[in-house]
Structure 1
């Protein structure tokens, strides 16, 4: 892995890897846990929208669609266009046409500070793959609460699967790099002159 990119090839994937794919011209990334056999367990808000405000603004700013329209569902996953919460998808549906990246764990502080985008690495160490896969399987059956871009998102889900840790902060609006990236992009969009 490098400072500028965590891009990997599919043949490098191992069960228990925390992967992500950038969406909407690198505005945000969607995160999940690769569980093997070409499948990914991930946490989504549904209807192909991993982020958003929950208002009509979502249709304008972050219009998003599943990788397969509901009239032509994926042969492996079926129609997932209306599913939300913790779901299992094939790698192609998870990537939704994007590239594959590996989230890094246990990075040294200098590398962590040198990363240009939040949501690509952490100082925390990963647990063994069998624990990661157990957590992902458990959450697939039992859920991870209600999706919220600022408080409970796909990156939080994947980090919890990898570490068993949930970061709870009363002084910030989010607990992950995903929320920070979203806010940065949204404030740029909102403040850009038309």
Structure 2
């Protein structure tokens, strides 16, 4: 039973990506943690017993925790000038759903939405600024595509959050177990711009998530639709 729980825990850590984190000071002897990277006052640490990793700041405050793959990318983003990178799949968590787009750089996002809100009578693919895209949300996330393959996971821009909503397995995970093509940032942006002005929105077959994932991977899919169908 104990062995089964340990195995299940390791699988959860590997699959979970950026896990909910409460910023708190790490004290006492940390026997099973080793530094992997250090830059700009941040330290990326790995747990010697599993694939668990965490990021600490210069005051030993935990800023993030999750799988090593996810924490490596979040570390690189936290120590850089900007959390966002051109070609990112970016999203915001609304009350009942996630809204997606493609970050193209210089504070601009291409997404599938109405000009004044996510939904409306005039939905098209158009370019907006980051503030307009976030539209009052507390933070945003980018999709992390693990080096080892598998489904993308959210990396939240926040370092202090209690939950990562709408993260559950389903057909979405099965689809992305197969090897998919990951387009370069330049090609991702090119693909997004090629569909500017499109007005063929469909909630279940061609929504904002379908669009953003297609730009990055060539796979037109929506985890949110998958979840609704599984429920």
Matched with 2:103 is 34
Flag the 1:110–1:177 CA change in 2: closer, same or farther, 3 A.
Answer: closer
Q: How does 1:147-166 map to 2 (within 5 A)?
A: 147-166=201-220
2:85 pairs with 1:14: yes
Residue 37 of structure 1: CA displacement? 0.7
Structure scoring higher RCO (CA < 8 A, sep ≥ 6) equals 1
Can you list the C-alpha shifts for 1:14-41, whole angstroms capped at 9, x where unaligned?
Answer: 11000100011xx210000000110000
Question: What is the SS of the residue equivalent to 2:167?
Answer: coil
Residue 127 of structure 1: CA displacement? 0.7
Instruction: Give structure 1 stretches of 5+ with no counterpart.
Output: 51-80, 167-174, 188-194
CA RMSD of aligned residues (A): 3.5
Q: How does 1:44-55 map to 2 (within 5 A)?
A: 44-45=113-114, 47-50=116-119
Matched with 1:176 is 222
Residue 146 of structure 1: CA displacement? 1.6
Larger Rg: 2
Residue 118 of structure 1: CA displacement? 6.2
Q: How does 1:56-71 map to 2 (within 5 A)?
A: none
- Residue correspondences, number: 141
C-alpha contact (below 8 Å) 2:145/2:151 kept by paired residues: no
Question: What is the SS of the residue equivalent to 1:156?
Answer: helix
TM-score normalised per structure 1: 0.59
TM-score normalised per structure 2: 0.50
Q: Distance in 2 between matches of 1:49 and 1:91?
A: 14
C-alpha contact (below 8 Å) 1:28/1:181 kept by paired residues: no
Q: How does 1:95-110 map to 2 (within 5 A)?
A: 95-98=134-137, 99-106=139-146, 108-109=149-150
Of 71, 86, 93, 2:125 maps to 86
